[in-house]
Amino acid sequence: MKLSQQSLSIIESAIQKAVAKYACSCEQTVVTDIHLQPDQASGQLNIYNDDDEELANIMIEEWTTYEGDDFLENVEPSLRNILCRMKDAGDFDKVTILKPYSFVLVDEEKETVAELLLIDDDTILVNDELLKGLDKELDDFLKDLLEK
């Protein structure tokens, strides 16, 4: 599902609003996950913390017109890309949540569907894109090593 630039901007603004609640000069807050819960029927994106406290709520019209049964699988890459861009832009640098914490995609029962982004100083979350071709590279390396 390809979202319009306007919808992507609305989602980014909602995420910024949600994390802004944790961007103060006060002490660090213990939150392990920020939950993003998109709803296909209503077009709502609800953002919650661990205590089910709503941090932001927006409407994405394009989601209501999607007909497929794989809604969450189609929404996941868009949300992940937005979060990665925001991280690269430094939008999460001033957040006072104790690290590590994650942005997770959850379904209507608030069950985790996917971890979208892990924020940690020392850990990198690998995804399928990063691992593509790794088996072949390792096989070639081992073959080359054994031949010498």
Condensed to tens digits (0 to 9), the pLDDT of residues 116-127 reads 998 887 655 555
The predicted pLDDT at position 84 comes to: 92
Q: What angle do CA 112, 117, 120 make, to 5 degrees?
A: 120
More confident of the two residues 131 and 24: 24
Are 97 and 26 in contact by the 8 Å Cβ rule? The answer is no
How many C-beta atoms lie closer than 10 Å to residue 23's C-beta?
Answer: 15
Taking only the tens place, the pLDDT of each residue in 65-115 is: 888 889 999 999 999 999 999 999 988 888 888 888 899 999 999 999 999
Residue with tokens 């640098």: 93
More confident of the two residues 148 and 21: 21
How many C-beta atoms lie closer than 10 Å to residue 143's C-beta?
Answer: 9
Question: Could you tell me where the DSSP H helices lie in the chain?
Answer: 5-20, 61-64, 71-88, 128-131, 134-147
H helices, E strands: number in the chain: 5, 5
**Among candidate residues 60, 80, 55, the one with its CA nearest the CA of residue 10:** 60
Note the Cα 95 to chain centre separation in Å.
Answer: 16
**Among candidate residues 86, 43, 80, 61, the one with its CA nearest the CA of residue 6:** 61
